Amino acid sequence: MDAYDAGTIERKWQDVWEADRAFYVDDPLPGAAPEDRHFYMLEMLPYPSGNNLHMGHVLNYTLGDVVTHFRRRHGYRVLRPMGFDSFGLPAENAAIKEGGHPLEITERNIASITHLMRRMGWAIDWAREVSAHEPSYYRWTQWLFLKFFENGLAYREAAPVNWCPNDQTVLSNEHVVDGRCWRCGAVVETRNMEQWFFKITAYADQLLDDLETIDWPERTKKIQRQHIGRSEGAQVLFRLEELDRDVPVFTTRPDTLFGATFFVLAPESPLVEELAAENEEVMSYARIAAARPTEERATREKTGVFTGRYAVNPVNDEKLPIWVADYVLMEYGTGAIMAVPAHDDRDREFAEKFDLPIRTVIDDDGRLTGSGEFDGLPWREAVVGITEWLDERGRGKAAINYRLRDWSFSRQRYWGCPIPIVHCPDHGAVPVPEDQLPLLLPDVDDYRPKGKPPLASNGDWIATTCPVCGGPAEREADTMDTFVDSSWYFLRYADPHNERGPFDRALVDYWMPIDQYIGGIDHAKGHLLYSRFFVKAMNDLGMLGFREPFARLFHQGWVRQEGKRMSKSAGDSAIDLVEKFGADPIRIYILFQGPADQDIDWSPDGIDPMVRFLRRLWRVVAAAAEGPAPPNGLDTPLARKAHETIARVTDDIDRRFAFNTPIAAVMELVNELSKGPDDPAARFAAETAVSLIQPYAPHIAEELWSRLGHERLWEHPWPEADASLLRRDTVVLVVQVNGKVRDRIEVPAGLPEDELVARAKGSARAQAHLNGEEPRAFVVPDKLVNLVV
């Protein structure tokens, strides 16, 4: 027989699958039969920011591929599409680096990555391919934006936002990591700018509560819960006599109100100017503090300045001095706090530095003191009591506060989805009429960031007329964050060519929610939160019939090379590797390294052993293929091993979501087969090994399957273990004395406990350790007897 040659057989079968449209899935016929079982398998789509993929992608998509084949062969109609997150900073920065136009470079990268994906043999429905930068896609991104805008879920407002001075654009809170830009690492500044926001905060409670309804890793839910940051407390009104106004403050500890000794405003608070416009010291502090990078603000020693003004504490009418200090953040609560130095570390630090009074109002037993009528009350009860007291007098009320901010999604960059809005001097922000969508992104020569949106320099495009009055108006020059594109792409796959709407609701409701989503945990609080928000909002707008997009989620581990996370610019190139070793060896390698959710240290040295295993499989199966076709239901040791392997592999993939141990199980079967080629069940064992390895190494499996005289393994039913062959006639009984293994004896299966004990006592090796004493016995039927003296 010829030798195993990965490259040749892989191309052969890839051509067959292509011609057969093997992995393209049809939509359900109207009134689909109840036995129609379907499964939506999706992995996070790649950025085409390079012409290649790294081994982290290879792990991600190979995992999805195993699940896809496994489900298909269990009779499911499986939707497994692919697309490209082709707008946005990653692609645009790559284009700037290469010095070409983003469109040209993005499309070249997509072609190259698509080629690689086909070469990996991944079972993808390419008829549904979608890219964010295609007008046929972003037309509907714009349409969705308009629906959100019309329903008050998208709005424009001047607000302090995160500004990356390197990428020259605003960033969402979710993409500032340790005070730095997630893409380039530059220290982020705060700027006050007119920005577009999605009203994700309106869904804070639902985003929190519905986490209970989805099968996600607990750590991911934790990240989202923490990010939403719901906390319960009270809103308390402090009187500012000079302004004749009440100022609200959020606190989780209204029970400490009697301990408040001063009052602090964030430097960005509009109240600072209202109270101290003429105080140069205060204004200058506020200006400098507000401009400081967030990162620096968080680590510095406390600073602040007294305004000379006072706020009135509603519980005792005391006048509290109002300070301005940058340890109070404008983004959280109301940008003003009551300071209780006795019971808050930050307030205490500030009080000590500026010599402000510290008043204890909760004693060592957790009861109130110095708090008037509330003295003696346990503090938890006082939280309720004082809140009620305030409420009755109109001086406060119970309140819930969130850390989650609205999602700022406008970007001052070129390569993104244009925001279909026209600014009219008379009518404000006016939507571009639906029949004028898509609003095409114009071709420009100079798309590089210059601190203002590149589209703003494009006079011909910017100048337009108001859809309401026909008067002169200007187009919105910002573009959308690429995370808007990826917040609904999974819906478009269900109906990718629809020209009348983003999708047909019946199709989306049929396929969604996604049964299994796989991707990196780095998207835990960005993409995974935005997509949940989009689906909830679209559900409320009557566009779809479910409220969560991803029923089950899995995060693959990081693939590292020499200790560093692999990226498209660092580490071995997947294209080079697949040409050198073949797709099957790489697919098996990346899944064999360990549990898929654990990090992997990549080394190309690990691939050769996988090539050796596949060669061994090839040889052993070829030998078995020469034997006679086996009768059914043979009961031989090899047949039993094959059935055990079916049971193990099936359970590992299906229930345990374990992908490394099935490969080990098939290796064991191949080892047994290689030792017992004369077993009458050799051919059955060979067919079983080939069938079970197919989701991992579909090309060699298909080739061997055909050499075994069969066809179309990719749609052949998954094998079933014969329960009668999983049962054993005899078992090896472990005999322990005082918990230590002293003997192993073969006994018939299913013996009663007293018989097992009798056999164990009969063991000469065990007796040698019993010293003639009569032992107590503990029995695990068919497994173990522990004799204790």
Partner RNA sequence: GCCGGAGUGGCGGAAUUGGCAGACGCGCCGGACUCAAAAUCCGGUGUCCUCGCGGGCGUGUGGGUUCGAGCCCCACCUCCGGCACCA
Find the binding residues for RNA in span 220-249 (CB under 7 A): 222-223, 226-227, 229, 231, 233
Query: How many angstroms separate the CA atoms of 25 and 79, rounded?
Result: 6
If you ran DSSP here, which 8-state letter would residue 735 be given?
E
Which CB sits closer to RNA, 605 or 774? 605
Q: CB neighbours of 473 closer than 8 A, spacing ≥ 6?
A: 422, 423, 424, 425, 430, 464, 465, 466
| CA torsion, ordered 658, 663, 664, 667, to nearest 10 deg | 160
* Cis peptide bond N-terminal to 513, omega within 30: yes
Q: Using the rule CB under 7 A, which residue among 1, 32, 127, 177 binds RNA?
A: 177
Is there binding between residue 298 and RNA (CB under 7 A)?
yes
Is there binding between residue 709 and RNA (CB under 7 A)?
no
Which CB sits closer to RNA, 710 or 769? 769
Which CB sits closer to RNA, 168 or 251? 251
If you ran DSSP here, which 8-state letter would residue 471 be given?
-
Instruction: State in angstroms the smallest separation of the CB of 505 from RNA.
Output: 35
Instruction: State in angstroms the smallest separation of the CB of 23 from RNA.
Output: 29
Among positions 30-89, residues that touch RNA (CB under 7 A) are: none
Is there binding between residue 769 and RNA (CB under 7 A)?
yes
Is there binding between residue 728 and RNA (CB under 7 A)?
no
Instruction: State in angstroms the smallest separation of the CB of 709 from RNA.
Output: 24
Query: Which residues, listed in sequence order, are joined to residue 17 by a DSSP beta bridge?
Result: none
C-alpha torsion sign, points 146, 149, 151, 154? positive
The answer to whether the beta carbons of residues 445 and 414 sit under 8 Å apart is: no
Is there binding between residue 726 and RNA (CB under 7 A)?
no
Which CB sits closer to RNA, 537 or 624? 624
Q: Using the rule CB under 7 A, which residue among 108, 118, 191, 302 binds RNA?
A: 302
The DSSP code sequence of 90-146 is HHHHHHHHHTS-HHHHHHHHHHHHHHHHHHTT----GGG-EETTSHHHHHHHHHHHH
Among positions 189-218, residues that touch RNA (CB under 7 A) are: 218
Q: What angle do CA 173, 530, 52 make, to 5 degrees?
A: 90
Q: Give the ranges where 486-582 is alpha helix by DSSP (H).
A: 489-492, 505-511, 527-540, 574-581
Angle of helix 682-693 versus helix 698-707 axis, rounded to 10: 150
Contact flags string 137-166 toward RNA, x per CB under 7 A = ------------------------------
Which CB sits closer to RNA, 456 or 747? 747
Token pair of 597 as six digits: 């959710």
Q: Using the rule CB under 7 A, which residue among 506, 744, 753, 754 binds RNA?
A: 744
603 dihedral zone (left: phi>0; alpha: psi -120 to 50; beta): beta
The stretch near RNA (CB under 7 A) out of 278-286, 315-323, 591-599, 631-639 is 591-599
Is there binding between residue 613 and RNA (CB under 7 A)?
yes
Among positions 386-405, residues that touch RNA (CB under 7 A) are: 401, 403
Is there binding between residue 188 and RNA (CB under 7 A)?
no
Alpha carbons within 13 angstroms on the beta-carbon side of residue 53 total 26
Instruction: State in angstroms the smallest separation of the CB of 125 from RNA.
Output: 31
Is there binding between residue 567 and RNA (CB under 7 A)?
no
The stretch near RNA (CB under 7 A) out of 18-26, 380-388, 572-580, 599-607 is 599-607
The answer to whether the beta carbons of residues 454 and 448 sit under 8 Å apart is: yes
C-alpha torsion sign, points 644, 645, 646, 650? positive
Is there binding between residue 520 and RNA (CB under 7 A)?
no
Q: Using the rule CB under 7 A, which residue among 49, 109, 251, 482 binds RNA?
A: 251
Q: Using the rule CB under 7 A, which residue among 457, 464, 674, 706 binds RNA?
A: 674
Instruction: State in angstroms the smallest separation of the CB of 176 from RNA.
Output: 8
Is there binding between residue 675 and RNA (CB under 7 A)?
yes
Instruction: State in angstroms the smallest separation of the CB of 583 from RNA.
Output: 18
Q: How far is CA 446 from CA 55, 429, 449, 456, 461, in A?
A: 34, 27, 9, 12, 14
Q: Give the ranges where 171-258 is alpha helix by DSSP (H).
A: 204-209, 218-228
Angle of helix 102-119 versus helix 574-581 axis, rounded to 10: 30
Instruction: State in angstroms the smallest separation of the CB of 506 from RNA.
Output: 38
The stretch near RNA (CB under 7 A) out of 28-36, 61-69, 187-195, 292-300 is 292-300
Is there binding between residue 291 and RNA (CB under 7 A)?
no
**What is residue 383's three-state secondary structure?**
helix
Is there binding between residue 789 and RNA (CB under 7 A)?
no
The answer to whether the beta carbons of residues 484 and 141 sit under 8 Å apart is: yes
* Amino acid at the residue 507: L
Is there binding between residue 591 and RNA (CB under 7 A)?
no
Instruction: State in angstroms the smallest separation of the CB of 69 from RNA.
Output: 20
Query: Which residues, listed in sequence order, are joined to residue 131 by a DSSP beta bridge?
Result: 84
Q: Using the rule CB under 7 A, which residue among 671, 680, 716, 745 binds RNA?
A: 671
Query: How many angstroms separate the CA atoms of 528 and 521, rounded?
Result: 9
Among positions 310-339, residues that touch RNA (CB under 7 A) are: 326-329, 331-333, 335, 337-338
Among positions 403-432, residues that touch RNA (CB under 7 A) are: 403
Query: Which residues, listed in sequence order, are joined to residue 736 by a DSSP beta bridge?
Result: 741, 786
Is there binding between residue 615 and RNA (CB under 7 A)?
yes
Q: Using the rule CB under 7 A, which residue among 446, 739, 764, 774 binds RNA?
A: 739
**What is residue 382's three-state secondary structure?**
helix
Is there binding between residue 727 and RNA (CB under 7 A)?
no
Among positions 641-660, residues that touch RNA (CB under 7 A) are: 648, 651-652, 655-656, 658, 660
Which CB sits closer to RNA, 11 or 359? 359
Is there binding between residue 664 and RNA (CB under 7 A)?
yes
Instruction: State in angstroms the smallest separation of the CB of 372 from RNA.
Output: 20
Among positions 523-552, residues that touch RNA (CB under 7 A) are: 525
Instruction: State in angstroms the smallest separation of the CB of 560 from RNA.
Output: 10
